[in-house]
Amino acid sequence: MPVIRKSNKLINVCYDIRGPVLQEAKRLEEEGQRILKLNIGNPAPWGFDAPEEIVQDVIYNLPASQGYVDSKGLFSARKAVMQECQKNGIRNVGIEDIYIGNGVSELIVMAMQGLLNDSDEMLIPAPDYPLWTAAVSLSSGTPVHYHCDEEQGWAPNIEDIRSKITERTKGIVVINPNNPTGAVYPKAVLEQIVDLAREHNLIVFADEIYDKILYDEAEHVSLASLAEDVLFISFNGLSKSYRAAGFRSGWMIVSGPKYHARDYIDGLDMLSSMRLCSNVPTQHAIQTALGGYQSINELITPGGRLFEQRNLAWEMLNDIPGVSCTKPEGALYLFPKLDPEIHPIQNDEKMALDLLLQQKVLIVQGSGFNVPDTQHFRLVFLPREDVLEDAIERIGVFLKTYRQ
């Protein structure tokens, strides 16, 4: 029988968060072993339930959700997103500028598929949430990674961005608050990115799915609130702040000057129509989520689970000899660094696999987030304190003797 291969489109597509190390973890679990899973930003399995009112909304509206709806989403959901834009200072957004999708993931792929041709370039942060790089590659574009400085709290390096803009650059992706670093960018840095976009006619793609998960004094500025003369596509959803990742519900907002982008927007409308509409029952939850009581605030302030777990995990990691970690100001992740003098790592996927096999702790290797080195890894601080303590102690034990 002839070999059946994946399409050429997928040759450069990589998504290591659910890659071979996870497969091995599944195999171990099937054998009956207990794995401490610090690998995925999925709040619900760790006891972070979605607000009851949004769950009830979905249940209540289920009978009325049997048919297709408008491809771009229910009016009530888009209206709620429109009001959220007003709250965040994003001006001139109408119902037609909003697309509801099956999670931000679907909308990221749609936004890239609708825009890119062969060898068009997209600026993406390194480290990144790797779906962005994968979506650009899938869309036959070229991901061009710009540097974020660990020494500067992982802020984007503006000079590096500038040096990588070419005549083929179509846009720039900004993930703020950032996955995997937890950085929340200062307004001054965001303004410099907007200036570059204006100067070079770039579209700014603002992934702000963690905008309400902020610690200490961190303040989030919606990128699209900073200019009305630059085209922005902003992304957000129910998965993180509302702990409803399984609902698969997110939204995308087009703002700024649209006249010159009419053709691209027509493309987005077409892609949106081609998948008929997004999951209807959970669209009913969007209005309640955005307009209701923001229970996430209880989790991110002192005494709240996310706040305390972040502190514990960050302190414990920094106590391991040869490990340093920037304190996350937002999101759900830590992105520690292994000192190359003490723990030189040639192959970080192998390190993640060895950690799994020796200590039954599942993390994701840094190269999975497109960092140019092999000295980082990512863990989530969603698990309860006793699990985090156990897992990070095991990481310390592993590193004591691990050599590649």
* Interacting residue ranges for ligand PLP, rule: CB under 6 A: 41, 103-105, 129, 175, 179, 207, 209, 237, 239, 245, 250
For ligand PLP, which is the closer residue by CB, 18 or 91? 18
For ligand PLP, which is the closer residue by CB, 114 or 130? 130
CA distance readout (Å), 100 to 92, 211, 265, 326: 18, 18, 14, 34
Q: How far is the CB of 316 from ligand PLP (least distance, A)?
A: 23
Q: How many residues does the chain have?
A: 404
CA distance readout (Å), 262 to 82, 117, 254, 268: 20, 17, 11, 10
For ligand PLP, which is the closer residue by CB, 98 or 320? 98
CA distance readout (Å), 162 to 178, 199, 256, 392: 20, 10, 22, 38
For ligand PLP, which is the closer residue by CB, 103 or 383? 103
Q: How far is the CB of 44 from ligand PLP (least distance, A)?
A: 12
Q: How far is the CB of 101 from ligand PLP (least distance, A)?
A: 8
Q: How far is the CB of 173 from ligand PLP (least distance, A)?
A: 10
For ligand PLP, which is the closer residue by CB, 285 or 399? 285
Q: How far is the CB of 333 from ligand PLP (least distance, A)?
A: 8
Q: How far is the CB of 104 from ligand PLP (least distance, A)?
A: 3
For ligand PLP, which is the closer residue by CB, 170 or 248? 248
Q: From the CA atom positions of the chain, what is the Rg in Å?
A: 21
Residue nearest ligand PLP, Cβ-based? 103
For ligand PLP, which is the closer residue by CB, 234 or 359? 234
For ligand PLP, which is the closer residue by CB, 332 or 361? 332
State the Cα–Cα distance between residues 348 and 127, nearest whole angstrom.
14
Q: Is 121 helix (H, G, I), strand (E, B) or coil?
A: strand
Contact of 137 with 13, CB cutoff 8 Å? yes
Q: How far is the CB of 113 from ligand PLP (least distance, A)?
A: 15
CA distance readout (Å), 33 to 26, 27, 195, 347: 9, 9, 52, 25
203-207/232-237 β-pairing: parallel
Q: Which of 309, 324, 314 is nearest to 399 (CA)?
A: 324
State the Cα–Cα distance between residues 394 and 378, nearest whole angstrom.
15
Q: How far is the CB of 125 from ligand PLP (least distance, A)?
A: 10
Q: Is 43 helix (H, G, I), strand (E, B) or coil?
A: coil
Q: How far is the CB of 207 from ligand PLP (least distance, A)?
A: 5
CA angle 98, 122, 363 (to 5 degrees): 90
Q: DSSP letter string over 173-223?
A: EEESS-TTT-----HHHHHHHHHHHHHHTPEEEEE-TTTT-B-TT-----G
CA distance readout (Å), 121 to 117, 177, 393: 9, 23, 42
For ligand PLP, which is the closer residue by CB, 42 or 318? 42
